[in-house]
Amino acid sequence: MQAMKFCLLVLLASALVLDAPCAQGRSIQRKLAKKPKGTVKTLKGDKGDVIDCVDIYKQPAFDHPLLHNHTLQIAPSSPKYGAPRDNAILDSLLDISWRKNGGCPEGSVPIVRNVLSDRPIIRKNMSSANQASGHQYAVIFFLYGQATMQGGRATITQWDPYLAQPADFSLSQIWITAGQSGTTNLQTIEAGWQKYPQRTGFDGPTFFVFWTANGYGGTGCYDLTCPGWVLTSSQYYPGMQLQSSTYGGQQIELAMDIERDQSTGNWWLYLWGTPIGYWPPSIYNGGALTYGADTISWGGEIYDSSGSGGFNTLTQMGSGHFATEGYTRASYVRDIVYTDPNGTPYAISQNQLYPQAPAPNCYNYQFQQDSSGQVYFFYGGPGCSTLAMFTGSSIATVNLLDEDKARRSNSAKK
């Protein structure tokens, strides 16, 4: 399997430095890039976020060499998703303070100002979990055989997991892929939520999109930090801050549907039933994902920067609680659906899914069904010290979270 690759954010000549309050009330010293070309208005939110309203025809996507002659598609040819969710309810769960001065003008889209980092930004990865990659997973796979699937769906609970190191991240997402994992033939479409302060500048979960055309070998990126993904919505956008579910209480869900437009070939992303943008097929340069997908995956991923490969870390996945704790306590995916070559959606049964959790003493999974028979995939965990992972023994793992809290408390008293 291919080792983890790193991608440095380009440091622009001029930058704006802000002391930005974060989602949990803490501050991160953020260095922001210059506003992108085509900016017609700049707005600021109450939590330090800077939103540039960019002319929809001048957004970063169209700097991609394969999109210079691309025709912008404002809306899907035939929407596949059901009726959009109630915007008033959704807005109450999002940070939309930047809209208090009227939002973005018509004909422009909101783009979160890039954060410049003096450290490498870790690229997404779908290689196996090992010490070299630093990634751990608790995921399920649906294998179709041929690259002809036309979409997939996921409803995932949003959480705000603890990160042990500033360079760590934790996420939950859907992957739609074609090609062999660990090779340059792998092509992906990805969306979900991620907590990664080093990348976003916020100490909380944000919505993200991602893509690669060559197995994470240099093509693709998060959000709109490179040309490729096209944003069409003025309401929802990559980089927006999300609220967290409450342990034992309210569950806040991120509902996503990704469908290939049969007329244009664009892979449209619906968020809570609203189409917000798409992955143009041309960015896959004639590869398999230009026409269809052969695999869909759902679940969680963490990156451990300590060097233990995710086998000895406090970084949490999902809610930070094991799957066995169940509803309102563990993170879950439901609405596990694929779209066949004819554009028809089908629910996937448990026996069609292949689970993977390489470090089950740190992050595990469990299947459950509701009264209607809908499959729920619960996953995640608190991280741990897992000697058992290396010895194969049944030695009980030690959860280090309490030890870490005690150590920090004692240090503070000195």
Catalytic residue among 106, 301, 325, 403: 301
- Dihedral in degrees, nearest 10, Cα atoms 400, 401, 402, 404: 80
Active site residue 190: yes
SS (H, E, C) the chain: CCCCCEECCCCCCCCEEEEEECCCCCEEEEEECCCCCCEEEEEECCCCCEEEEEEHHHCHHHHCHHHCCCCCCCCCCCCCCCCCCCHHHHHCCECCHHHHHCCCCCCEEEEECCEECCCCEECCCCCCCCCCCCEEEEEEEEECCCCCECEEEEEEECCCCCCCCCCCEEEEEEEEEECCCCCCCCEEEEEEEEECHHHHCCCCCEEEEEEECCCCCCCCCECCCCCCCEECCCCCCCCCEECCCCCCCCCCEEEEEEEECCCCCCEEEEECCEEEEEECHHHHCCCHHHCCECEEEEEEEEECCCCCCCCEECCCECCCCCHHHCCCCCEEEEEEEEECCCCCEEECCHHHCEEECCCCCCCEEEEEECCCCCEEEEEEECCEECHHHHHCCCCCCECCHHHHHHHHHHHHHC
Active site residue 325: no
Catalytic residue among 106, 190, 253, 403: 190
Backbone angles phi, psi at 234, to 5 degrees: -100, 0
Catalytic residues: 190, 301
